[in-house]
Amino acid sequence: MRQSGFTLVESLISTAMLSVILISGVVVTRSAMLSSERSLNEDGARAGLDRLQQRAQQYLRSASRATLLAVPTGGTKAVAMVDGVTYNNIEFRRVVGFAKGAVVYQPPVTKPPYRIYFQAELPNGSGSIYLDDGVQTVPLVRSITAASFTKSAKRITLDFSGHPESGCAKATARTTEEIVLRVP
């Protein structure tokens, strides 16, 4: 007489198959979670660079082309920006109006100009972007690995890369923005 139920071999085979299916599910879930975390970190890095660009744009949109200065690599004194040369800093004044036929700048020509610059702070070369308005120096964003400003006729190209405010040094983003300087 035949008894109902599973034999030991059948039970072992079904248990092995179920284990393979469960392990596969765990591997897929873990992979999806890591991918999601990486994506969130990269989005955070990109958002940090976007905020930096917006802050820099607020200042540079009204910058006077005639007042653009930068310190060349290895240099100590700010000189007029040369087209096509890449700098890690920029100095400028903003045009805020006209009085008695003359341009009114902010800050006035009797005071130091605004300055946006990259300063390496860690052995790996990463650092921060700072804004110096002549009164105080404030960080615009931290954890930047590279920053550059390049002038081309009436345009300034901003190029930033790093992992700002993402909380993960592995999440790196890069952003490039071109600003048209409309003020002579």
| Residue 24 included in any domain | no
Cβ atoms of 172 and 54 closer than 8 Å: no
Q: Where are the beta strands (DSSP E) in the chain?
A: 69-70, 79-80, 86-87, 89-92, 94-99, 102-106, 114-120, 127-132, 137-152, 155-162, 173-180
* pLDDT digits 0-9 by tens, 73-113: 778 888 999 999 989 899 999 888 888 888 888 899 899 99
Tell me 72's DSSP state: P
Q: What is the pTM of this model?
A: 0.68
Q: How far apart are CA 139 and CA 119, in angstroms?
A: 10
Q: What is the pLDDT of residue 39?
A: 75
CB burial of residue 183 (10 Å; 0-12, 13-18, 19+) = middle
Q: How far apart are CA 77 and CA 64, in angstroms?
A: 19
Residue-number span of the structural domain to which 58 is assigned? 30-180
| Residue 11 included in any domain | no
| Residue 46 included in any domain | yes
| Residue 5 included in any domain | no
Q: What is the pLDDT of residue 171?
A: 57
Length, in residues, of the chain: 184
| Residue 25 included in any domain | no
Domains identified in the chain, total number:
1
Q: What is the pLDDT of residue 7?
A: 86
| Residue 18 included in any domain | no
C-alpha distances in angstroms, 51 versus 8, 33, 35? 64, 27, 24
* pLDDT digits 0-9 by tens, 153-166: 888 888 888 765 54
Q: In the structure, what pLDDT confidence band is assigned to residue 21 with cuts at 50, 70 and 90?
A: very high
* pLDDT digits 0-9 by tens, 33-86: 888 887 776 777 667 667 767 777 777 777 888 888 998 877 888 899 999 998
| Residue 141 included in any domain | yes
Q: What is the pLDDT of residue 167?
A: 47
| Residue 21 included in any domain | no
Q: How far apart are CA 156 and CA 7, in angstroms?
A: 77
Instruction: Tell me how crowded residue 37 is: count the other CB atoms within 10 A of its CB.
Output: 12
Q: What is the pLDDT of residue 172?
A: 63
> Would you say residue 168 has pLDDT above 60?
no
Q: What is the pLDDT of residue 91?
A: 92
Q: In the structure, what pLDDT confidence band is assigned to residue 2 with cuts at 50, 70 and 90?
A: low
> Would you say residue 169 has pLDDT above 60?
no
CB burial of residue 70 (10 Å; 0-12, 13-18, 19+) = buried
Bigger pLDDT: 147 or 46? Answer: 147
